[in-house]
Amino acid sequence: MDFSIFLIQLLNALQYGLLLYLVAMGLTLIFGIMGIINLAHGSFYMIGAYMAYALAPLAGGNFFITLVFGLVLAVILGYLLEWAFFSFLYEREHLQQVLMTYGLILVFEEIRSLLVGDDVHGVPIPALLSGSIPLGDVMTYPVYRLFVSGVCLLLALGLYFVFTRTRLGMMIRAGSVNREMVQSLGIDIQFLYRVVFAAGVALAVLAGMIAAPISSVYPGMGNQILIICFVVVVIGGIGSIRGAFFAALLIGLVDTFGKVWLPEASGVLVYVLMALILLWKPSGLFKAGG
C-alpha cells in the first residue's frame, strides 16, 4: 500500500473511530454510569441523521443552523424521555430495561416512518466544507471528514475535562457508585441525571447529524451503530470515558484496515477483537469512572 493511500485510510479510521466515540460516550453516560441498558441509544443517532435531513429546509438549508436546531431539540427530547420513561428504570431489572428501550426503538422507527417515510436520503455537505485538500501528488482528502474528526476530538477533550476536573464530573462519577450518598450531600441527583441523560442523547443526535452528509440517511441506521457502540463500551470498560475513547479509536482502526487488508473477514474482525480483549481483560481496558 502506498503511503498516501495508507494516510487516507488512517484518516478514515480516525474519523470513524471519533464519530463512534461520540455515540459511545452517550451510551457510556447512560449505560455505564447511570446503569440503564439503553437499546434505544442507536435511535438517537438515527433521529439525529434524520433531523439533519428534515430540519434543513426550516433552517434555510444552512447546515450549521440545522445543527443548532437539532441540538436544542435533542436536549429537550432527552430531558422529556428521562422524565417520562427512563427515570422509572434505574432500580429495575435488566430485562425490564431491555424491554422498554427495545419498545422505544420500535416507536421511534414508526414515528420516523410516519414523518419522513422509509426512503434513503442524502444530505449535502455544507458548501463551506465541501472542498478537498491534496495528499501527495494525486490523492485528495475531503475537508468535511476532517471537520467531523475535529468536532469529535474537541468534544472528546471537553467531555474529558468536565468529567475529570469539574465538580459536576465528580458528582456524576460519585452517583454511579452510590446515589443515596450523593443525595445525602445535598445534590439533587434526579435533576443531575436528567441533565446527564439529555447530554447523552444530544451527543448521539449530534453524531447522527454530522455523519449524515457522509453516510446518507436510511431506516435502521441506528441499530447498526448501537451494536458497535455496545462493543466499544464493553471493550473500553463499562462506565469509563477514557476506555470508550481508546476502544472507539481501536475499532475505527481495526474496522477500516480490516476492510482493506482482510476484506473477507472484515465483518467479524471487530467481534474477534472484542473476544480477545475480554479474554485478556474481562472487565475491559479501563476501570469504571476513569
- Report the interface residues with another protein, using CB under 8 A: 167, 170-171, 173-174, 176-178, 180-190, 287-290
Nearer to another protein, 96 or 190 (CB): 190
- CA pair distance 206, 19, nearest whole angstrom: 10
**Contact by Cβ (8 Å): 129, 144:** yes
Which residues, other chains included, contact 172 with Cβ-Cβ below 8 Å and sequence gap of 6+?
A: 29, 33, 163, 192, 196
CB of residue 289 to another protein, shortest distance in Å? 4
CB of residue 24 to another protein, shortest distance in Å? 20
**Contact by Cβ (8 Å): 67, 212:** no
Burial 262-281 (b: 16+ CB within 10 A, else e): eeeebeebbeebbeebeeee
Position 143: which residue type?
V
CB of residue 101 to another protein, shortest distance in Å? 25
Nearer to another protein, 126 or 290 (CB): 290
Nearer to another protein, 184 or 263 (CB): 184
Element containing residue 5 per DSSP (H, E): helix 3-27
| Best CA proximity match to 241, nearest among 181, 162, 174, 178 | 162
Nearer to another protein, 149 or 176 (CB): 176
- CA pair distance 100, 37, nearest whole angstrom: 10
Which residues, other chains included, contact 154 with Cβ-Cβ below 8 Å and sequence gap of 6+?
A: none
Number of H helices, E strands in the chain: 11, 2
Which residues, other chains included, contact 103 with Cβ-Cβ below 8 Å and sequence gap of 6+?
A: none
Nearer to another protein, 186 or 263 (CB): 186
CB of residue 171 to another protein, shortest distance in Å? 6
Nearer to another protein, 118 or 165 (CB): 165
Nearer to another protein, 167 or 220 (CB): 167
CB of residue 243 to another protein, shortest distance in Å? 13
CA 145 to chain centre: 16
CB of residue 78 to another protein, shortest distance in Å? 21
CB of residue 264 to another protein, shortest distance in Å? 42
Nearer to another protein, 102 or 191 (CB): 191
284: left (phi over 0), alpha (psi -120 to 50) or beta: left
| Best CA proximity match to 168, nearest among 192, 188, 191 | 192
CB of residue 290 to another protein, shortest distance in Å? 7
